[in-house]
Amino acid sequence: MITLCGFPLSNYYNKVKLVLLEKGIPFAEEYTKAHSHDEAVLSRSPLGKVPFIKTPQGALCESQVIVDYLEAAYPDAPRLIPADAWQAAKVRELVTYVELHLELVARELYPEAFFGGQVSEGTKKRVARLLPENIAAFKRLARFGPYLAGDTFTMADCAGWVSLPLVGLATKTIYGEDFLAAAGVDWKPYARLIGERPHAVKVAADRKADQMPK
């Protein structure tokens, strides 16, 4: 049995959870805070990051490493990466653009956009300079046909659905303009499309429940 460790507010936790659900892989969940200094966590995720998974073979961290493992370890489950090597690479290319060039850049805004903190003016200027160029590059790759990689739901959509809304909402909050929408990336209908999938509905419901006062 696989155990998914992390918390439902994390977009990368939800990416892995959606992959597990879409592939029909049995798993348990274990609530684990990020940046823990607990040796039980560090022995499985050396930087204290979530998500990570526990398997009979041992622990594995980093969300993309995890989902690539799941795709390889459960070949009889529904595929989220095409069998064709080129098409598989194109899906992973999209994941990289979503996570490295969009979400990771916008993440610097999250303390102020979502958590009541403050972000320096220098950081805001740097993000405002980088993101439009990166979004334009992403737009050249994403097909929205209706899925990111074309007419089939793939791992790219597990990454896109949990992260694109954060980029749009964070920039709207900080700058008064949704950078994705301004660049012609109409992410809201896309997010609704993915969000209507039964497994995405569960992920969203669990995330909402985690935000409720305990």
Kindly report, residue by residue over 139-191, the tens digit of the pLDDT.
999 999 999 999 999 999 999 999 999 999 999 999 999 999 999 999 999 99
Kindly report, residue by residue over 101-138, the tens digit of the pLDDT.
999 999 999 999 999 999 999 999 999 999 999 999 99
Of 151, 120, 161, which Cα lies nearest the Cα of 19?
161
Of 8, 6, 70, 58, which Cα lies nearest the Cα of 209?
8
Structural domains of the chain sorted by starting position, each given as residue range(s) with its CATH number in brackets: 2-73 (3.40.30.10), 85-211 (1.20.1050.10)
Of 159, 152, 162, 15, which Cα lies nearest the Cα of 84?
152
pTM over 0.85: yes
Strand partners, 54: 3, 59
Kindly report, residue by residue over 75-87, the tens digit of the pLDDT.
999 999 999 999 9
